[in-house]
Amino acid sequence: MTGSPQITMEMVRQHGLSDDEYGFVTNTLGREPSLTELGIFSVMWSEHCSYKSSKVWLKTLPTAGPQVICGPGENAGIVDIGDGQCAIFKMESHNHPSYIEPYQGAATGVGGIMRDVFTMGARPVANLNALRFGAPEHPKTRHLVAGVVAGIGGYGNCVGIPTVGGEVGFDAAYNGNILVNAMCVGVASTDKIFYAAASGVGNPVVYVGSKTGRDGIHGATMASAEFDDATDEKRPTVQVGDPFTEKLLLEACLELMEEDAIIGIQDMGAAGLTSSSVEMADKGGVGIALDLDKVPQREIGMTAYEMMLSESQERMLMVLRPGREVDAAAIFEKWGLDFAVIGKTTDTGRLVVHHNGDLKADIPLHALGDGAPEYDRPWVEPKLAQALNIDTVPPPDSLLGALETMMGAPDLASRAWIWSQYDRTIGGDTVSPPGGDAAVVRVHGTAKGLAMSVDVTPRYCFADPREGGKQAVAECWRNITATGALPLALTDCLNFGNPERPQIMGQFAAAVTGMGEAARALAFPVVSGNVSLYNETNGEAILPTPSIGGVGLLTDIAMRCDIALKSDGDTLILIGPDGSHLGCSLYLKIIEGRGDGAPPRVDLHGEKIAGDFIRILIGEGAVNAVHDISDGGLLVAVAEMALAGNIGADIRFTNKEIASFIQAFGEDQGRYVVGVPDGGAHKVLAAARAVGVPVRLLGLAGGTELKVTGEMPISLQGLRDAHQTWLPDYMAGAQA
Amino acid sequence: MKAAVIVFPGSNCDRDAADALTWVTGRPPAMVWHTSNELPNVDLIVIPGGFTHGDYLRVGAMAATAPIMGEVFRAGIRGVPVLGICNGFQILCETRLLPGALMRNASLNFICREVNLKIETTATPFTRSYPDGALVRLPIAHHDGNFFADEETLNRLEGEGRVVFRYVDKAGKRVPAANPNGSRNNIAGIANAAGNVLGLMPHPERAIDPATGGTDGTALFAGLHEALR
Amino acid sequence: MKAVVKIRLKSGVLDPQGKATQNALEALGFSGVNGVRQGKIIEIELEGTDAGAAREDVDRMAQALLANSVIESYEIEIDGQ
């Protein structure tokens, strides 16, 4: 190849390829690669693009169902929501960039996931996110929280997509590796879905969006320096997001999609031009030829290596039907965006790249796509946490005192400081904003609603990855169910440590196995996802964190439920078994300062019948408030319902076999608290017994206090203060 | 009532505004692109919320220089009702159809929540359907809603009854705790001297449906529809 | 030619960003910080060589778009002058 330096083993290593992998490269090409080719192999065979360590396990997940239109492998997953409409959604990680530069890292994470969704023809209707930060007392945590939250808001607010839900956790295991997982949900017509596959020969390959700069080029500093001695101060930094351009790109793409001009379209995300062109050509079984001189460039003197690897944001690659270039260009011109024909489809099955008239890369596409390496990495069975010896846990002085402490602790304190910085109401369709179980967004112009939730309990996953994987899926399904919606499918974002360590690979394998069991049992298939490995610092891995993002369908938003207690005199009923399990619980963590014990087991059969029963109750209007029981247990759930409705409650724990505090704070799964309007309790109890779901009468809603039999009541105002103070006070420390 | 919604690159509440107008008037408004030099013959001009041109230089500054804004300015002077919501309010200040400027929120954070507002005057076409001194709840969602004007301008606005919306507590009192963004005199919305140009930071168009944000914004659109029928 | 326009909030206009920065500096232990004002700098590459004409052009740009005289003041430098 013209002008390419001799490739040394040092350069190969810096590009993250093993000796074996490099041997595969030279065999495939029948020669040494050029530097540009080395860069292309490096990014396409990276864990991020190739899923080489995870694929073998991901294949075990259920991905089909009558509601599934498109499963994993495309830009995002697609489910049918009736009336010729579909929901298109995916979740993706932006962990490392967000640790380096929290504002831009989080912002570009949001931008990337929205492009994945509108690439397929959907208008994004909701953003969600799952965030994990280090211990609050860690010196970097406050700065990271402030930056990530501002970045998520800054991007989503500007584009004008409501951010409606998510979850935020703190744990010292994330001190050196925070997690920023962004999810986007869009709605499209089922007859206007766009896929990535290119087709035909001689069709124009078109670049649209922002210009290309030297953003986020990973690769090897030394190799590039040899390639161009004058690159010192040109070294790429973090990608910078431009939400304004994203908004224009969104509108321009959707406008073009109204025409019959696009054959295939793909977002330029990680590994930019390389992965987008390879994926389009590989999926369509064609070849692709690119002329990099045609690529709109922001900087002078960019090399082929830099252009192929740049991660400049807000760009798309399309293959158009021949002859449609002029119409398409006019749309992008109207929106002030670059539009350039940079190549064409071919029948060679190869990626051929020219720059300045010279050949820079010529690679058989199969080697970059399906033919990429795949590893069944060694793994060991995770060491499971021992069951908790309950006799070692003393009861608290008072249940309500313990509750107040827990509600004000970092794990459970109100996240309002965070979500008040996200525009939640834009679009006029947000029915249930953050703070409840699942967020509900109306499908514009219809009575339908999408219920969405993001869930995982990393401390469970660490103690028992398989149960933890099951629990994450079950809790997401339960949260969606608690609104009355039917859960349709999920997207996942699997955040783990270094897969080359058998212990980590064991966590991964077990968690995915558990997820698969739950997804099968609950008919809640996986339609898209992302894997983020190597989340460790100095050999210390994060807690295994398989974030689950679910989407469900409400056929009529008028028949939905939320968590707020509605009126004095409503009966509170526990659906599901009594609390009995304190292992890995927040009670243990916050009140006793202990993290031991096995996590609660997920009884998938019990989960399913309880959830199906809840959906029936909501559909019949038999209940007016529903909240799932998760972190913190039953008493925390009741407190959240009381705060949301600003109505007190008076409850008692009547199971004589189990200590009250265990009933109050046990984190047993598959459970809900429901509020039943006056006079309806008897029917609900009878109906539950008829379908074999355990139930227990808890007490009544009413007043301005929370009461537990035998204790001094606490005022809702006091509880609210405890709940709402921690996060704003903590963040105010940023400026103290 | 015939209405036009001005659309800029980066407008993102244009659809919401159009939906509200369609719902109240029964017919969709004209959507007018910012590069146009002509306004259709309309009874009402709405400048919707968003981040026009990314608000990269200064909120509303670049949109204020768009070709269509010359027409909007002249129409506003002529007495055509002009409603600027959120970024639209910022743009109207930049065009000088309204006095003052919107600065970064005092907290420096973007704020999205419901606020309590007092309607200080019903002597505008926008507020005529509200009872005198009505207390309403509307959502806000902005990063730059901190209204600033010098003392003389503030005195004139207050003296001439041109403060139309004010952040208040639940009891209707103007207290510092009810001020979400640091605005002078808790000002949320103002009118021009003739009363036909209104800018406000809260979003009435997001409060026309009990399922999503309450209905306290309905009277604003309904009142306009009645006045301009 | 290069023009630099320095824009800052007028004195008397509260500058919450400057105030926050001042607080942060004090929290880091920098004593004696009496005030911080935050502004922005806009660099403009210009054709031509007449510094006087350039200054007039840039002044008009500042008035028309770059600064908002309700809250901001500005200074212009042409080629460092």
Out of B94, B104, B106, the one facing C68 most closely (by C-beta) is B94
**What does the pLDDT read at residue A2?**
64
Strand A571-575 relative to strand B146-148, pairing: unpaired
Q: Is residue A222's pLDDT more than 80?
A: no
Query: C20: which chain A residues are within 8 Å (Cβ-Cβ)?
Result: 735
**pLDDT tens digit sequence for A449-502:** 999 999 999 999 999 999 999 999 999 999 999 999 999 999 999 999 999 999
Q: Whole-model pTM? A: 0.94
For A668-717, give the DSSP string: -SS-EEEEE-TT-HHHHHHHHHHHT--EEEEEEE-SSEEEETTS--EEHH
Please tell me the number of Cα atoms within 13 Å of B206 on its side-chain side: 30
Asked if residues B89 and B98 have their Cβ atoms less than 8 Å apart, the reply is yes
Q: Which of A616, A593, A609 is nearest to A670 (CA)?
A: A609
Burial A303-326 (b: 16+ CB within 10 A, else e): bbbbbbbbbbbbbbbbbbeeebbe
Percent of chain A whose pLDDT exceeds 90:
87
Please tell me the distance from the alpha carbon of residue B11 to that of residue B15, in angstroms, as a whole number: 9
Strand arrangement of the beta sheet that strand C39-45 belongs to: C39-45, C2-9, C72-78
Q: Is A375 helix (H, G, I), strand (E, B) or coil?
A: coil
- Stretch A146-172: mean pLDDT, rounded? 96
- Stretch A319-343: mean pLDDT, rounded? 94
Q: Is residue A735's pLDDT more than 80?
A: no
Q: Given a contact as 3+ CB pairs under 8 Å, which chains touch C?
A: A, B
First to last CA, chain B: 5
Collect all residues with Cβ–Cβ distance below 8 Å to C63 and sequence separation of at least 6. C69
Find, in chain A, the residue whose alpha carbon is nearest to that of C27. A736
Phi, psi dihedral angles at A726 (to 5 degrees) = -55, -55
Q: Is B55 on the interface with C (CB under 8 A)?
A: no
How many residue pairs from chains A and B have C-beta atoms closer than 8 A?
A: 86
User: Which amino acid would we find at residue A230?
Assistant: A
> What is the distance in angstroms between the Cα of A733 and the nearest Cα belonging to chain C?
10
**What does the pLDDT read at residue A531?**
94
Taken in order A700, A701, A703, A709, the sign of the CA dihedral is positive
**What does the pLDDT read at residue A233?**
46
Class of the CATH domain delimited by C2-79: alpha beta
CB within 8 Å: B103 and C65: no
Q: Which of A667, A1, A665 is nearest to A305 (CA)?
A: A1
Please tell me the distance from the alpha carbon of residue C34 to that of residue A336, in angstroms, as a whole number: 45
Q: Name the token pair of A330.
A: 């006019």
What is the maximum alpha-carbon separation in chain B? 46
**What does the pLDDT read at residue A221?**
38
Please list the alpha-helical segments (H only) found in A119-269: 141-159, 221-227, 243-257
Percent of chain B whose pLDDT exceeds 90:
96
Out of A242, A245, A425, the one facing B139 most closely (by C-beta) is A425
**What does the pLDDT read at residue A734?**
52
CA-to-CA dists, residue A404 to A579, A716, A729, C36, angstroms: 19, 10, 17, 41
- B196, containing H or E segment: none
Find, in chain A, the residue whose alpha carbon is nearest to that of C20. A735
Please tell me the distance from the alpha carbon of residue A99 to that of residue A85, in angstroms, as a whole number: 38
Q: Report domain extents, chain C.
A: 2-79
If pLDDT is split at 50, 70 and 90, which confidence band does B165 have? very high
**pLDDT tens digit sequence for A551-601:** 999 999 999 999 999 999 999 999 999 999 999 999 999 999 999 999 999
Does residue B86 carry a catalytic annotation? yes
Collect all residues with Cβ–Cβ distance below 8 Å to B136 and sequence separation of at least 6. B116, B117, B119, B130, B216, B217
Asked if residues A649 and A699 have their Cβ atoms less than 8 Å apart, the reply is yes
Percent of chain A whose pLDDT exceeds 70:
96
CA-to-CA dists, residue A574 to A624, A629, A673, A693, angstroms: 14, 9, 5, 10
Q: Given a contact as 3+ CB pairs under 8 Å, which chains touch A?
A: B, C
Asked if the ipTM is above 0.85, the reply is yes
For A480-512, give the DSSP string: HHTTTPEEEEEEEEEE-S-TTSHHHHHHHHHHH
For residue A350, how many other CB atoms are within 10 A of its CB?
20
Going by the DSSP 8-state scheme, the letter that residue A447 receives in this structure is: S
**pLDDT tens digit sequence for A506-518:** 999 999 999 999 9
Strand partners, A491: A528, A549
Please tell me the distance from the alpha carbon of residue A185 to that of residue A206, in angstroms, as a whole number: 26
Asked if residues B107 and B101 have their Cβ atoms less than 8 Å apart, the reply is no
CB within 8 Å: B106 and C65: no
Query: A160: which chain B residues are within 8 Å (Cβ-Cβ)?
Result: 12-13, 50-51
> What is the distance in angstroms between the Cα of B16 and the nearest Cα belonging to chain A?
6
**pLDDT tens digit sequence for A402-447:** 999 999 999 999 999 999 999 999 999 999 877 788 999 999 999 9
**What does the pLDDT read at residue B217?**
96
**pLDDT tens digit sequence for A379-409:** 999 999 999 999 999 999 999 999 999 999 9
Angle between helices A502-521 and A465-481 (to 10 degrees): 30
Going by the DSSP 8-state scheme, the letter that residue B227 receives in this structure is: H
Average pLDDT, chain B: 96
Q: Is B170 on the interface with A (CB under 8 A)?
A: no
Phi, psi dihedral angles at A731 (to 5 degrees) = -70, -30
**What does the pLDDT read at residue A228?**
42
Q: Is residue A536's pLDDT more than 60?
A: yes
Residues of A with a catalytic annotation lie at 48, 94
- Stretch B89-113: mean pLDDT, rounded? 96
**pLDDT tens digit sequence for A287-319:** 999 999 999 999 889 999 999 999 889 999 999
**What does the pLDDT read at residue A237?**
59
Asked if residues B72 and B6 have their Cβ atoms less than 8 Å apart, the reply is yes
For residue C33, how many other CB atoms are within 10 A of its CB?
13
For C18-37, give the DSSP string: HHHHHHHHHHTT--------
> What is the distance in angstroms between the Cα of A502 and the nearest Cα belonging to chain B?
44
Asked if residues C16 and B104 have their Cβ atoms less than 8 Å apart, the reply is yes
Please tell me the distance from the alpha carbon of residue C9 to that of residue C23, in angstroms, as a whole number: 18
Query: What domains appear along chain B, each with residue ranges and CATH number?
Result: 3-228 (3.40.50.880)
- Stretch B160-166: mean pLDDT, rounded? 98
Chosen for mutation from C66, C71, C72 (greatest number of chain B CBs closer than 10 Å) is: C71
CB within 8 Å: C16 and B62: no
Q: Is A263 helix (H, G, I), strand (E, B) or coil?
A: strand
**What does the pLDDT read at residue A436?**
81
For A560-588, give the DSSP string: ---SS--STTPEEEEESPPP---TT-HHH
CB within 8 Å: A425 and B141: yes
Phi, psi dihedral angles at A125 (to 5 degrees) = -120, -15
Instruction: Please give the radius of gyration of chain A, using alpha carbons only, rounded to the nearest integer.
Output: 26
Query: C27: which chain A residues are within 8 Å (Cβ-Cβ)?
Result: 735-736
Find, in chain B, the residue whose alpha carbon is nearest to that of C10. B150
Please tell me the distance from the alpha carbon of residue B202 to that of residue A654, in angstroms, as a whole number: 49
Query: B104: which chain C residues are within 8 Å (Cβ-Cβ)?
Result: 16-17
CA-to-CA dists, residue B67 to A292, A337, A377, B36, B90, angstroms: 36, 19, 62, 6, 17
For residue A647, how many other CB atoms are within 10 A of its CB?
22
Query: A157: which chain B residues are within 8 Å (Cβ-Cβ)?
Result: 51, 110, 112, 141, 143
Phi, psi dihedral angles at C27 (to 5 degrees) = -65, -30
How many residue pairs from chains B and C have C-beta atoms closer than 8 A?
A: 38
Please tell me the distance from the alpha carbon of residue A596 to that of residue A462, in angstroms, as a whole number: 11
Q: B80 burial class (0-12, 13-18, 19+ CB within 10 angstroms)?
A: buried
Asked if residues A338 and A332 have their Cβ atoms less than 8 Å apart, the reply is yes
Taking the CA atoms of residue A666, residue A671, residue A677 and residue A680 in that order, the dihedral angle to the nearest 10 degrees is -110
**What does the pLDDT read at residue A218?**
64
Query: B13: which chain A residues are within 8 Å (Cβ-Cβ)?
Result: 160, 426
Q: Which of B194, B192, B219 is nearest to B207 (CA)?
A: B219
Out of B58, B108, B149, the one facing C16 most closely (by C-beta) is B108
For residue B114, how many other CB atoms are within 10 A of its CB?
17
For B41-102, give the DSSP string: S-SEEEE--B-GGGG-SSTTTTGGGSHHHHHHHHHHHHT--EEEETHHHHHHHHHTSS-SEE
Please tell me the distance from the alpha carbon of residue A239 to that of residue A218, in angstroms, as a whole number: 11
**What does the pLDDT read at residue A432?**
83
> What is the distance in angstroms between the Cα of A116 and the nearest Cα belonging to chain B?
20
Phi, psi dihedral angles at B173 (to 5 degrees) = -90, 140
Asked if residues B146 and B106 have their Cβ atoms less than 8 Å apart, the reply is yes
Q: Is C69 on the interface with B (CB under 8 A)?
A: no
Which residues of chain A from 296 to 325 reach within 8 Å of chain B, CB to CB?
A: none
Which residues of chain B from 93 to 112 reach within 8 Å of chain C, CB to CB?
A: 93-94, 99-101, 103-108
User: By mean pLDDT, which of A550-559, B129-138, C18-27 is the weakest?
Assistant: C18-27
Find, in chain B, the residue whose alpha carbon is nearest to that of C19. B106
Asked if residues B16 and B85 have their Cβ atoms less than 8 Å apart, the reply is no
**pLDDT tens digit sequence for A247-303:** 999 999 999 999 989 999 999 987 889 999 999 999 899 999 999 999 999 988 999
Find, in chain A, the residue whose alpha carbon is nearest to that of B59. A158
Instruction: Tell me, letter by letter, the H, E, C secondary structure of A195-209.
Output: CCCCCCCCCEEEEEE
CB within 8 Å: B57 and C66: yes
Strand partners, A70: A78
Taken in order A217, A222, A224, A228, the sign of the CA dihedral is positive
Query: C26: which chain A residues are within 8 Å (Cβ-Cβ)?
Result: none
